[in-house]
Amino acid sequence: MIDDCAKTGFTEGTYVRFDDLDTIAKDVRAFKDSLRLIVDERGGIGRLADLTEIPQPSLSRLFGSASMPRRATLLKIARALDLSEVQIATPWASH
């Protein structure tokens, strides 16, 4: 059973140093805060929920948490706010 769980081959991914986590968290927070300003200017969370069909509580959690949303969620938000994918893309958006 242990052999079944053993890694075979090399899996490439992004390596994040432990020392960089605070900086990344601040960058993610700054990104979400700037996005929230745009959302508020364009009608707020309720309006964004209507446009994206993402439930309002989910959007509130998204903006209140320290985690980065999935890329697909960011793209839905970008389309709803008429932003380019470049404006909303970040290096921390997960696939």
Residue 48 has pLDDT above 90, yes or no: yes
- What domains lie within the chain, and their CATH numbers? 12-88 (1.10.260)
pLDDT digits (tens, 9 = 90+) for 8-39: 555 555 665 667 778 878 888 888 998 999 99
DSSP for 18-71, please give it. GGGHHHHHHHHHHHHHHHHHHHHHTTHHHHHHHHH---HHHHHHHHHSSSPPBH
Residue 4 has pLDDT above 90, yes or no: no
Global pTM value: 0.71
More confident residue, 24 or 47: 47
pLDDT digits (tens, 9 = 90+) for 49-85: 999 999 999 999 999 988 888 888 999 999 999 988 7
User: Tokens in use for 84?
Assistant: 């380019």
Give residue 6's pLDDT.
59
